[in-house]
Structure 1
């Protein structure tokens, strides 16, 4: 089950569509959806988590905590909507497209994809793009 939590005034319009899309991605990876919590927040909120739990004194768009048990995905995904908006502007894409990319990025980490090396980053970006194409089926 996917839960959407808001620590800011932002709200996504299409929770059910996103949930169906995310579940389809998880299942396409041969995994099972457990409890996944999205927490939408601002830069200050996510920065505090980054410092406190990861010892990183930087802004970021997403932090995910993976509680997977076997093939069942569980986790908390924190997303700064401020950072997503800035990145959308920097990458010249819509806010909604960047938000979807970030939302699925956390799920792909749970599925085992990494982004530390250049080859890992390229594979992650390809998987994100594949998933974004799949999202159109749920519109």
Structure 2
């Protein structure tokens, strides 16, 4: 089950279509959907999590806490709406596209994709683009 939660004034549109899109990606990656919670929050909220739990004193757009059991995906994906808005401007893309990118990015981590080195990051970007092209919202 995919759920969307908010720690900020932001509210995601088209949640049924987004849930379906994520579910199809999970299935295509030969994984099983468990309980996945998306939490949309502010920079301050996500920064505190980054410091408290990951010992990183930096701003970020997404943090995934992975509780998966093998190929059954479970976890909490925190997304800073502030950071996504700023990144959309910086990358000269639509907010809708950037928020979709970080939404799928989080679940791709649960599917086993990494982004800590150049080769892994290239694969992650390729998968993001692939699934972004499959959106129907």
TM-score in same-fold range (> 0.5):
yes
Alignment partners' CA distance in 1, 2:70 and 2:62: 23
Question: Take 1:124 and 1:99, find their aligned partners in 2: how far apart are those partners?
Answer: 16
CA deviation map 1:58-114 (0-9, x unaligned): 000000000101211000000000000000000000001000000000010000000
- CA distance in 2 between counterparts of 1:94 and 1:77 reads 21
Give structure 1 regions of 4+ aligned residues with deviation exceeding 4 angstroms: none
Distance 2:104 2:13 in 1: 17
- Number of equivalent positions: 137
* Partner residue in 2 for 1:13: 13
TM-score calculated relative to the size of structure 2: 0.99
Q: Structure 1 CA distance, aligned partners of 2:35 and 2:123?
A: 26
Matched, 1:119 2:119: yes
Query: Larger helix proportion, structure 1 or 2?
Result: 1
Residue 93 of structure 1 aligns with which residue? 93
TM-score for both structures, normalised by structure 1: 0.97
Structure 1: which 5+ runs fail to align? none
- The corresponding residue for 1:27 is 27
Which residue is 2:133 aligned to? 133
